[in-house]
């Protein structure tokens, strides 16, 4: 069986996928990530975890979720130790179409709370699309609506996930 190449509006585009890991890995997350990968998107899974108050706390790193996420989606997941900025940009630029990255805990960045609009702008520079998977908390992070206003949702219709042989 030969390799396939995804074509369509998501091929080679970067999609930020907002996840929550407070109750494990949500099936909606795994299904969304698989569909995006099949469509040839570069996927950056983003999440906030715990309450680190804008400071790095190794106990709250999302690194521990990379392997379980990889197992759940059935594909390798690369961990990127930053969530915004040059390191995040470089990590995502290194992804090939269809590859998946898990970004570091968004809550390690103090701007996620105190400068939501600015934080959303920094996140939007990383991607072409943004999608929220799973439920939002009763009071969602204030950057989420800002990011939803800046980036469209990816087109997730079935005909856009057809793959053509190369």
Number of other residues whose CB lies within 10 A of the CB of residue 71 = 12
pLDDT of amino acid 11: 93
* pLDDT greater than 90 at residue 156: no
Write the pLDDT tens digit of every residue in 138-153: 666 789 999 999 999 9
Identify each DSSP E strand in 19-137 by its residue range: 42-46, 77-80, 100-103, 129-132
* pLDDT greater than 90 at residue 165: no
119: left (phi over 0), alpha (psi -120 to 50) or beta: alpha
Give the DSSP letter of residue 62.
T
Q: Which two tokens stand for residue 57?
A: 């706390």
Q: Which two tokens stand for residue 105?
A: 């805990």
pLDDT of amino acid 12: 95
As its CATH architecture, domain 8-49+61-156 has 3-Layer(aba) Sandwich (3.40)
Q: Any idea where the domains of the chain sit in the sequence?
A: 8-49+61-156
Write the pLDDT tens digit of every residue in 94-115: 999 999 999 999 999 988 888 8
Number of other residues whose CB lies within 10 A of the CB of residue 137 = 10
* pLDDT greater than 90 at residue 40: yes
Write the pLDDT tens digit of every residue in 11-36: 999 999 999 988 889 999 999 999 99
């Amino acid at each position: 069986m030969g390799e396939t190449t995804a074509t369509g509006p998501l091929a080679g585009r970067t999609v930020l996928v907002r996840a929550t890991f407070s109750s494990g890995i949500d099936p909606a997350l795994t299904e969304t990530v698989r569909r995006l990968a099949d469509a040839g998107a570069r996927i950056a899974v983003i999440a906030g975890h715990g309450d680190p108050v804008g400071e790095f706390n190794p106990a709250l790193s999302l690194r521990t979720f990379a392997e379980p996420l990889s197992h759940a989606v059935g594909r390798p997941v690369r961990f990127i130790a930053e969530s915004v900025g040059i390191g995040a940009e470089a990590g995502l630029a290194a992804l090939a179409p269809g590859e998946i990255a898990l970004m570091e805990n968004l809550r390690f960045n103090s701007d996620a709370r105190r400068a939501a609009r600015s934080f959303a702008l920094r996140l939007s520079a990383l991607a072409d699309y943004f999608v929220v998977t799973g439920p939002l908390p009763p009071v969602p992070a204030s950057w989420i609506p800002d990011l939803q206003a800046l980036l469209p949702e990816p087109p997730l219709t079935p005909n856009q996930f057809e793959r053509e042989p190369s």
